[in-house]
Copies of this chain bind each other. A is one copy, B any other.
């Protein structure tokens, strides 16, 4: 399965391509896995992919409502649960927000670079990190189930003053 661009997308990148790729991947993945990517879930996933910034659940709720859907908090949280369980979306717990997965279907653990200026998130997938973690854990007899790494800072574009927001 093809992945989306892992790094920070430039202000003028073809984001429609990001969206359609993510949706197409999700559709294919769900089909293949026998998962029901319902209209609601598809809609939420598309809203999440509106940009590369993590989005809050209540923000999604508001947008769903604006799009004419009858929605309450559980509507959103259930869709998010489905999307997260199936690796299509990640939660950025340091922000209580959600972001589309750039490596959906890969079976990976998430590593995020979060720009404090533009709010954009890039997803890393550096195997070395997982390997160091596993080694450390092994030494302590700790069995790793999952982990998240959230890195805050300033992205290249923001340093250069070319961010899109």
- Among the 9-residue stretches A15-23, A76-84, A134-142, the one with 4 or more Cβ atoms under 8 Å from chain B is A134-142
Assembled-state Cα–Cα distance A156/B133 (Å): 15
Tally of contact residues, A, Cβ under 8 A:
34
A159 within 8 A of B: yes
| A137 contact set on B, CB distance < 8 A | 113, 151, 153
A150 within 8 A of B: yes
Assembled-state Cα–Cα distance A8/B137 (Å): 11
- CB within 8 Å of B: which of A112-155? 113, 115-116, 122, 124, 126, 128-129, 132-133, 136-137, 140-155
CB-contact partner of A143 in B122, B143, B153, under 8 A: B153
Contact A122 B140 (CB under 8 A): yes
